Structure 1
């Protein structure tokens, strides 16, 4: 039986070194409403989120709409790039995506972060067969999860993600069958080139 996972990359947030409690910006709050309106058109059964505030705030509207509590799952939190602020973010991202085993001091390699995210995804697939699940998450971990199933989802794909951005991944058991993007600009569902 098929299951649809709607990965929601969080809306724009106000920068802070406090990853857990960094909130959405005013613009992010407005854009989160747009994401909610798109998701309201779908028969959503359950909402799961990274424990980070910006991810929760992005999906709390749809959770309220369907009358369900948001289930927090640490597996969907953003990848830890480094335990210290990095001087050159673009260079650091390039390094970890070039070598999946490489990790900055105190940070997660792509393989480690991907393993965490994929394990969380498989748990959801196992628990919610036949349902439509919204997952509030973050750009890098989302693309690492997608990359596990299809390597076309890489750092270049991550670079073009919007805030917020919604991708529908359709699975048949644990097999990814189709990926489609909900276009938050045009308020319509548009299919990417990927389908099996």
Structure 2
């Protein structure tokens, strides 16, 4: 049995429009520091992250506390929306949830995001049969992982978690088979 703790990054600085380098806000950094205490009694043996700065910075304190390196996994990155910035994110997101193949020019469909995230997750589960794992990720990426295992997780659920940063979800596996999905941390509630 493995527990995989997916951590949706803490609050980012949206004034930085570059997705890869967008940092955390001061509030986001403080929230990330609180995660160290939350994880101190867990059996964390490996830490992975999206290559995006906000995800790496969210799990860095946990990695330092456990004296572990963070292994970057490109496939855990957030979805690419388009080559530019869009103003109507909510309308775009709803269109994608209504049609998992919908995408803008230069962007990714939710089906593509789900496929690459699940592929990466299955590789990790095959490699690590013991110990618990932390994966730093993003709201849409994590939503697609949850939706893969629980088709009832939908746009309404995505809207509910849209502003929860950080958000920790534990998924327990027996090999690559789902045992349970449990929401653990909802931002300021810890």
TMscore range, shorter length: over 0.9
2:69 maps to what in 1? 69
2:8 maps to what in 1? 9
Q: TM-score, normalised by structure 2?
A: 0.94
> Gapped runs of 5+ residues in structure 2?
none
The count of residues paired between Structure 1 and Structure 2 equals 186
Q: What displacement does 1:131 show? A: 1.9
For residue 42 of structure 1, give the secondary structure of its aligned residue in structure 2. coil
For residue 152 of structure 2, give the secondary structure of its aligned residue in structure 1. coil
For residue 6 of structure 1, give the secondary structure of its aligned residue in structure 2. strand
2:104 maps to what in 1? 104
CA RMSD of aligned residues (A): 1.1
Q: What displacement does 1:186 show? A: 4.2
2:169 maps to what in 1? 167
2:153 maps to what in 1? 153
The separation in 1 between residues aligned to 2:126 and 2:88, in whole angstroms, is: 39
For residue 160 of structure 1, give the secondary structure of its aligned residue in structure 2. helix
The separation in 1 between residues aligned to 2:174 and 2:28, in whole angstroms, is: 33
Q: TM-score, normalised by structure 1?
A: 0.91
The separation in 2 between residues aligned to 1:115 and 1:93, in whole angstroms, is: 18
> Gapped runs of 5+ residues in structure 1?
188-196
**Structure 1 segments of 4+ aligned residues over 4 angstroms from their partners:** none
